[in-house]
């Protein structure tokens, strides 16, 4: 502001000296009002354009003013400059600072206009339901290379991207684009090393996406962090019906987070927690969750460390459940106590159709006690007890219990790797007369010594 006024003063001085003798009385009359002091008004910052324009206007008017008027104008301007200099000295800001403030005002205004242009440009862009544009931007943000396979198939209803090595950052970029994806229904991201950070990103995405119904996050080392965030997601998501977290190093604490969710979630129908390290403590909590859950139809806890009290608690939860159709407890350590508890649960449960308890170190005595439930159960269609040391006696006891239950729904029995004797074979033939559709698989027959017929 001060620089502009000084420039105006320097441009006025030559014109006043040149035109003093040439002015007429009529011009003095027309410009006589310039000598009077104009009313004071609040000062404000002007841009450089306004200062230059004001300078040109004043210099132009000064060439046609009278000597008296010019003296008055110069006196007035001198007083204004002195007042401004006093204000600047009082505030400790010089001419250089004033110029800098003027530049800052101009730059700020230009920046605001530039931001507005960007926003308008974003609004005009066409809506991208697949999220390709968003994915590329997210890849630049997280400094990862876009996956060409994903760009080609992200518009499909089913996407399988196993073993792509996405990592945590790549998973984040993928999750950003899937938030607005409306075509994808099934997503398989097994074995991509996403870890807990990537699992958290997928959980946040599933909170917003209301189209994806099936997700496989197996073998991604999610750990407790991933399990906790996914558990939180299940409390909000209302469209996901199938979730696999197999092989993710989930221990007791991680399973406890999921157990708390299962007591309230009613939409999830299939949950796979196999190939983890879930132990007795989590088994007890999961048993309570199974008893309270009203949505799950299929649950897999295979290849874990559930035994002892955890196995008994899990079996009791099964007895109270009225929705579960398939339960896989293979490759745990149920033993005798777990088998006995499962037998008691089958007396009360009237919904379970498929039960897998293979490789659980169940002895012959445990198998015989387990058959007490088969004598009254009316819903079990498929039972797998293979690779247990139940011997021929245990297999025979299972067939005998089914034979004594006229309302049994059994269709398939699996005694893989367990050898049977001729008595078992004879009972099986008799059982087929009662249940023609039943099928039995075993590990072979033991030849017995018999007297040759005459």
Residue 117 has pLDDT above 90, yes or no: no
**How many CB atoms sit inside 10 A of residue 225's CB?**
15
Domain count, the chain: 2
321 and 417 both lie in a single domain: yes
Q: Which of 58-72, 213-227, 341-355, 433-447 has the lowest mean pLDDT?
A: 58-72
Tokens at 176, concatenated: 């950003």
Reference 144, options 86, 198, 212; nearest CA is 198
Using only the alpha carbons of the chain, give its radius of gyration. Answer: 43
Provide the terminal-to-terminal Cα distance of the chain, rounded to the nearest Å.
Answer: 131
pTM for the full predicted model: 0.71
Structure confidence at residue 448 (pLDDT): 54
Closest CA to 301 of 312, 286, 289: 286
Q: Are residues 331 and 235 in the same domain?
A: yes
Residue 323 lies in a domain: yes
Residue range 205-221: mean pLDDT, rounded: 97
Q: Are residues 111 and 216 in the same domain?
A: no
Instruction: Please check whether residue 281 is in contact with residue 254, taking contact to mean a CB–CB distance below 8 angstroms.
Output: no
Pair (191, 111) in one structural domain: no
On average, the pLDDT of the chain sits at: 80
Q: What is the mean predicted confidence (pLDDT) over 427-448?
A: 90
Q: Are residues 173 and 33 in the same domain?
A: no
- C-alpha span between 256 and 282 (Å, rounded): 6
**Helix locations, 125-222, DSSP H:** 132-142, 148-153, 167-178, 195-208
Do residues 222 and 245 make contact, with C-beta atoms less than 8 angstroms apart? Answer: yes
448 lies in some domain: no
Other beta carbons less than 10 A from residue 350's beta carbon = 11
**Cα–Cα distance between 309 and 198 in angstroms, integer?**
34
177 CA to centre of own chain? 11
Q: CA quadruple 177, 179, 183, 185: dihedral positive or negative?
A: positive
CA-to-CA distance for 143 and 170, rounded, in angstroms? 9
Choose the final residue of a domain: 68, 99, 122.
Answer: 122
Residue showing tokens 């104008």: 73
Q: Please report, to the nearest 10 degrees, the dihedral formed by the alpha carbons of residues 57, 58, 59, 62 taken in order.
A: 120
CB atoms within 10 A of CB 82: 10
- Residues 223 and 151 both lie in one domain: yes
Sequence-distant (6+) residues with CB within 8 A of 51 are 1, 3, 4
Range of the domain at 314: 132-442
DSSP 268-336: --EEE--SS---HHHHHHHHHHHHH-SS-SEEE--SS--BTHHHHHHHHHHHH-SS--EEE--SSB-HH
pLDDT at 453: 55
C-alpha count within 13 angstroms, C-beta hemisphere, residue 46 = 15
Stretch 375-389: mean pLDDT: 97
Which helix (H) or strand (E) is 242 found in, with range?
strand 242-244
Domain contains 255: yes
Separation of alpha carbons 74 and 69, rounded Å: 8
pLDDT of residue 11: 41
Whether 114 and 141 share a structural domain: no
Q: How far is CA 62 from the centre of its chain?
A: 71
In the chain, DSSP finds a helix count (H) and a strand count (E) of: 17, 11
Statement to judge: residues 254 and 302 lie in one domain: yes
- Determine the Cα angle at 294 with ends 289 and 295, to 5°: 105
- Within a domain: 411: yes
Same domain for 236 and 114, yes or no, is: no
Hey, which residues does 412 pair with through a beta bridge? Answer: 382, 439
CA distance 200 to 222: 9
CA–CA dist 375, 9 (Å, integer): 113
Task: Check whether 98 has a pLDDT greater than 60.
Answer: no
Same domain as 173, residue 84:
no
Q: How confident is the model at residue 86 (pLDDT cuts 50, 70, 90)?
A: low
pLDDT at residue 386 in the model: 97
318-362 per-position pLDDT tens digit: 999 999 999 999 999 999 999 999 999 999 999 999 999 999 999
The phi, psi pair for 213, rounded to 5°, reads -115, -25
The 10s digit of each residue's pLDDT in 399-433 is 999 999 999 999 999 999 999 999 999 999 999 99
In a domain, 452, yes or no: no
78 & 196 share domain:
no
Lowest mean pLDDT among 40-44, 150-154, 424-428: 40-44
Q: List the one residue out of 342, 321, 438 whose CA is nearest residue 388.
A: 342
Query: Residue 198 belongs to a domain with what CATH number?
Result: 3.80.10.10
Residues 252 and 225 in one domain: yes
Mean pLDDT over 35-42 rounds to 42
> What is the sign, positive or negative, of the torsion defined by CA atoms of 329, 331, 337, 343?
positive
Quick one: pLDDT at residue 131?
74
DSSP annotation string for 120-136: HHHHHSPP-TT-HHHHH
The answer to whether position 287 is within a domain reads: yes
From 64, 94, 122, give the residue that closes a domain. 122
What is the rounded distance in angstroms from the CA atom of residue 265 to the CA atom of residue 296? 9
Task: Give the pLDDT mean for 108-116.
Answer: 36
Is residue 450 domain-resident?
no
100, 122, 144 - which closes a domain: 122
| pLDDT at residue 300 is higher than 90 | yes
Residue 77's pLDDT is 52
CA 2 to chain centre: 58
* pLDDT value at 207 more than 50: yes
Asked if the structure places residue 402 within a domain, the reply is yes
């Amino acid at each position: 502001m001060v620089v502009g006024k000084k420039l105006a003063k320097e441009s006025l001085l030559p014109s006043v000296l040149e035109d003093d003798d040439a002015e007429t009385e009529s011009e003095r009359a027309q410009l006589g009002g310039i000598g009077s002091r104009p009313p004071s008004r609040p000062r404000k910052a002007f841009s450089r354009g306004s200062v230059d324009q004001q300078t040109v206007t004043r210099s132009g008017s000064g060439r046609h003013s009278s000597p008296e008027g010019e003296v008055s104008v110069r006196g007035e301007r001198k007083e204004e400059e002195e007042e401004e200099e006093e204000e600047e000295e009082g505030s400790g800001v010089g001419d250089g600072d004033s110029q800098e403030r003027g530049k800052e005002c101009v730059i700020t205004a230009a920046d605001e206009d530039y931001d507005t242009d960007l926003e308008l440009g974003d609004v005009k862009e066409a809506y991208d339901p697949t999220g390709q544009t968003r994915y590329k931007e997210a890849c630049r943000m997280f400094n990862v290379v876009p996956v060409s396979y994903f760009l080609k198939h992200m518009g499909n209803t089913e996407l399988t991207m196993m073993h792509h090595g996405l990592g945590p950052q790549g998973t984040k970029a993928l999750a950003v684009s899937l938030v607005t994806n409306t075509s994808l229904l099934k997503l398989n991201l097994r074995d991509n090393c996403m870890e807990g950070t990537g699992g958290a990103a997928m959980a946040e995405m599933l909170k917003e996406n209301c189209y994806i119904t099936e997700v496989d996050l197996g073998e991604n080392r999610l750990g407790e962090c991933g399990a906790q965030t996914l558990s939180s997601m299940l409390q909000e998501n209302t469209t996901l019906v199938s979730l696999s977290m197999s092989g993710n190093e989930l221990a007791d604490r991680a399973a406890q987070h999921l157990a708390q969710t299962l007591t309230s979630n009613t939409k999830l129908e299939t949950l796979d927690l196999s190939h983890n390290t879930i132990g007795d403590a989590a088994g007890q909590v999961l048993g309570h969750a199974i008893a309270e859950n009203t949505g799950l139809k299929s649950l897999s806890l295979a290849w874990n460390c559930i035994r002892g009290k955890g196995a008994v608690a899990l079996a009791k939860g099964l007895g109270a459940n009225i929705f579960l159709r398939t339960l896989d407890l293979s490759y745990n350590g149920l033993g005798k106590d777990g088998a006995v508890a499962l037998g008691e649960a089958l007396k009360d449960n009237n919904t379970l159709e498929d039960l897998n308890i293979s490789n659980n170190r169940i002895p012959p005595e445990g198998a015989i006690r387990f058959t007490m439930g088969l004598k009254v159960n009316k819903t079990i269609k498929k039972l797998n007890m293979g690779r247990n040391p139940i011997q021929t006696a245990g297999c025979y006891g299972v067939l005998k219990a089914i034979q004594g239950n006229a309302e049994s729904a059994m269709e398939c029995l699996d005694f893989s790797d367990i050898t049977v004797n001729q008595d078992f074979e004879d009972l099986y033939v008799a059982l087929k007369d009662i249940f023609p559709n039943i099928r039995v698989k075993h590990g072979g027959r033991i030849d017995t010594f018999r007297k040759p017929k005459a």
